[in-house]
Every structure is written in C-alpha cells, then in structure tokens.
Amino acid sequence: MKKFQLILIFGFIISLVTYGIYSRLSEEYDFFYEYDSRYQVYSVEDPPEKIYFAGEEMPLEDKVVAKKFENELQVQTFWNYSKISLIKRARHWLPQLEPILKQHGIPKDFKYLAVVESMLNNVESPKSAAGFWQIMASTGAEYGLEINEEVDERYHPIKATHVACQYFKDSYKKFGNWTSVAASYNIGMSGLSRALRNQNETSYYKLNLNSQTADYIFRIVAIKQLLEHPKEFGYNVPRYNPYAIPMKRIPVKESIPDLAVFAEEHGITLEILREHNAWLLKNSLTIKDPEKTYTLLVPRNPEMLVKKETKNASPQQAQTDSIKISVTDSTLSRR
C-alpha cells in the first residue's frame, strides 16, 4: 500500500514538473495555446477608476457609457485563436506606426484605430476602403497617395499612416479634442459636425449615432486594453513571431517589367515579394517620372524562406526539403 502511495506521489510530482517546463516553453515557442481562466472581468458594478483615450478620460461615471464600454470589452477580449494572431501582428506593426504618429504630434493611442479598422490586415472593404487605415481612393488621392493600375499606396502601411495623421490634424483643427477626431474618422468630419449641431451636444458620449460610430471609441479602448494587457485576459502569447522578418530596403529608380524576375534575382518568389509590398497591384512596376524612387522590401535572409532545389539531392533529401518549404510558406500566406 505504501509503495502504491509513493508511486502516486512521485507521479504527481513528475506531472507538476513537466507542466512547469511546458508552460515556460510555450511562451518561447509556437506550442498549443492554453486558455488561462484567470482573466480580468469588468462590470458596471466594479468599474476601473480611470480609462483614457489619447489622454482624455472616458466618463465612466455615466452608467450608459460604462455599460457600452463593458459590452465592447467583453466582445473584444473574448478568448479565441484569431486574437492570438492579432496580438502578434500588433507587436510587429504598432512599433512601426508609433514614431509616425509622434512625428505628426498625434497621440499614440491613435495606432489602435488601425487595429479596429482592419485588424492590421491589408484588406479592402465592401465600400472599397483599403489598407490598414481603410482609406477611400478619393481621400488617398486628396492627401497625396499614388493610386493607379500598378500601384495603390493605401496598402503601404507607412505611407498610409502619414495620410491618416494628416486627416487627424485637420480634424483636430475642427473639433479641438481627440475623442471627436477619432469618431470623425469613422463617420466623417461633416457627419460628426452635423450630429453635434443637430443634437445640440458638445461631447461624443452624449450623441445618438449609428451603431458603428456609437461603438467606435469603446471598441478602440477595448482593443487598447487587450493589446496592452493580454495576460490579464487569458492570452499567453509565444515570443516567436512569424511577422517579425528582418527586411532590407531596395531603392528602385527604373521600371521593372517583370517583378517575378526581380523577385528571383533576390532569392524569393513573387508571392513573397508582394506579401511584403502589398501596394504592388500588377506584376510590373513602371516609373514614368525620372525623379520618382520606390522602395521595395525584401527579406534580408531569403534562404530562410525559400529552399532552392539542388540537382544532386537524394529523393529522401528532396522530400525533406519539400516539407520545409511547405511549412515555411504556410506562415507567409496573404492576410
């Protein structure tokens, strides 16, 4: 009997040690994501003391405002695998957007508008808004983005961020507070002005708006809470990030008739080239202005992404290489 008890105790200790090692490894490598039930719970009865957006306090003493924030926080922080990918994209992209916001004097919280707009995916909406910031073609052209058959700089995360900042500055001149500026990005400056005037209000939080705009600020702040405090909501994200690929910049001053050839010359495929330069719409790049220079991003270590064929490889080695290519390319599929 004692021997059996000792075996049980020993087995229990081994299980605890194994679990401890696994938990540590899961933070560093891409293992199965385990949900942590010790997530943060927010309720109207027990609200946080202060919640801010762009340095402006959300009036949580208003029970209607507090309830809207609670609802949006529950939706945006609900545990699922897509949020893991979002957190990884955010950790790669948001540090690149922050310096641009700072350069233009825009509060850093505005980076979360890009997250709400597109989940940091280069996508096009049903209304033809495009890119991280979901910019309409007319707005992009008005603010200086190049948009034609070959190039659409709305899909250029860095250039599009500069344009978004120009919009924010113009909007701030009109409204004088950052909460209204953010709301105007969803409903438009004229739309927000009309709502404030018709309803004789001065605060976004007092307006009766369409459901999307009415939830917009709450969604931004809820996403902010998730991305700044993921572990509090049960997200244990591995340190490995497939989006963090070292890149090199290649200036291009002459037309490229075939981007597939250009990609091959740099040791990658056309698919990978367009993955990191989503603003390229065609398989060619024509430069008509001799003063124009484009910058293409190319992986610094392409051999880590594309395994080239070897003539004298054995069938067994070729099969192994094929598996490596398949696994690597799966992380680079277009978002």
* 104 and 211, same domain (yes or no): yes
Between 174 and 318, the more confident residue is 174
Give the contacts of 78 (CB within 8 A, at least 6 positions apart): none
268 within some domain: yes
> Looking at residue 250, what DSSP letter applies?
E
Question: Distance (Å, rounded) from C-alpha 213 to C-alpha 217?
Answer: 8
Q: Give the count of domains, the chain.
A: 3
Between 156 and 307, the more confident residue is 156
The boundaries of the domain holding residue 20 are 1-32
* 25 and 106, same domain (yes or no): no
- Percent of the chain beyond pLDDT 70? 76
264 within some domain: yes
297 within some domain: yes
Q: What is the pLDDT of residues 146-172, one digit of tens each?
A: 999 999 999 999 999 999 999 999 999
Give the contacts of 223 (CB within 8 A, at least 6 positions apart): 76, 112, 115, 116
Q: What are phi and psi of 203, to 5 degrees?
A: -120, 135
Between 104 and 241, the more confident residue is 104
CATH code of 180's domain: 1.10.530.10
Would you state the pLDDT for residue 146?
A: 97
122 within some domain: yes
Would you state the pLDDT for residue 16?
A: 58
Residue 162, helix vs strand vs coil: helix
* 229 and 101, same domain (yes or no): yes
* 117 and 213, same domain (yes or no): yes
Helix ranges (DSSP H) in 229-302 = 259-265, 270-276
Q: What is the pLDDT of residues 66-117, one digit of tens each?
A: 999 999 998 998 878 889 999 999 999 999 999 999 999 999 999 999 999 9
* 251 and 217, same domain (yes or no): no
* 212 and 302, same domain (yes or no): no
Amino acid at 274: R
pTM (2 d.p.) = 0.79
Between 41 and 196, the more confident residue is 196
Question: Distance (Å, rounded) from C-alpha 242 to C-alpha 276?
Answer: 13
Residue 280, helix vs strand vs coil: strand
* 168 and 276, same domain (yes or no): no
